[in-house]
Structures are given as C-alpha cells and as structure tokens.
Amino acid sequence: MWRKTRRPNTDVSSSCVGTDPNRNWNNNWGRVGISFDPCAETYCGPRDNSEREVAQVSAYLVRLNSDNRFKGYINFHAFSLLWLSPYGYTNALPQDNTAIVNLGNRAASALYDVYGTVYDVGPIYTTIYPASGSSADFAYDNAYITYSYAPELRPASNPPGFLLPPSQILPTGVETFAALKVWLQTCATAI
C-alpha cells in the first residue's frame, strides 16, 4: 500500500522516502492540493519532474505527440468511481472542456450499461479536490492530448478503499473495458 515513488528524499534532508508522482509533473507544479513535507502522502517533490519516472514519461509523451497524432491519455487510479478530466490545479476549464466532458459522460454511460456502476464525470479540481502537478493536466497542456483523463476506479468509498475485494476485480475490468472502447473510438476518429 505504497502511493509514492521509492526515491530517498536526501536532497531535502529527510529520512522519509518518496514523492507522489501525480503531484510531480511539470504543469502548475506545487500550487494546490500538494504538500512540501517529504513525509506527506501528497509530497510534490523538491522540484517538478524530480522523479525519474515522471521525467521520462513526460518527455516521452511530448516527443511521441510532436505531430499531434495522439488524442487520448488515461492514468488509472483507485478509488471513488470518478471519471476525472483536466484541470486539477484550477477551477478554470480547458478550452476543449465540452468535448472532454461529453466523451467522459459517454464512457461513463458505457461503463454503467455493464453492471449499473455510476461514475461522476468532471474536472479534477471540482469533482474530487484541487491537485496540481497531475499527469492529466500535463498530457492536455504540455503534450496537447485532448482526451486526457484520470479515472478513479472501484470501490466507491473507504472502506475498502484501495483494497479492492477480489469479487470486484473482474467486474471492474469488464466495465472499464466498455468505457475504454468508447474512449478509444473517439480518439481514433479525432486523428
């Protein structure tokens, strides 16, 4: 049950280990919904892209999408039953918000049609909480990937929280796949 990276925080003279990788991206880093305490779960790191994983993936996304061929990005999380979209650092809406939310609603509807699981759809900032330095915001703003999401999968609440009961693993996969097909069809036709 480890949320953060495993890099020691020796650069800030702390014995606590790790940085929350979804607060470390080079997009409005360190603004809201983060902590500068290396021992906190939402520690955003000593600087943006300080984590090797984040730096490598962000550089890859920008390089990969230099010709704007990629229209979709998803970063799965658990838990809460939310289909989250940019932005996390502000309550302002992205330029493509109508299209982003429409696709999110269609994906959530396809997911619902499988087992009746209800997902709330909307921007990170207003749907769950403010959180800057997220990969969904980075993918949208920096890699120019329009349909950027951070779905929070099952379960709905805590408990069981991050410990998904084995009986929910297969249903989660099946319903999420239904949503992904809708998302993928839209991304493929947007190219």
Start-to-end CA distance of the chain, whole Å, equals 38
Question: H-type helices in 42-150, by residue range?
Answer: 52-64, 97-115, 124-127, 135-141
d(CA 22, CA 29): 10
Q: Which residues are the active-site residues? A: 152
Q: What is the distance between the alpha carbons of residues 186 and 135, in angstroms, rounded to a whole number?
A: 20
Phi and psi based region of residue 23 (left: phi greater than 0; alpha: psi -120 to 50; beta: remaining): alpha
The half-sphere exposure of 157 on its side-chain side, counting CA atoms within 13 A, is: 0
Q: Which two structure tokens, joined as six digits, stand for 144?
A: 């120019």
Beta partners for 148? 73
Cis status, amide bond into 159, omega within 30 of 0: yes
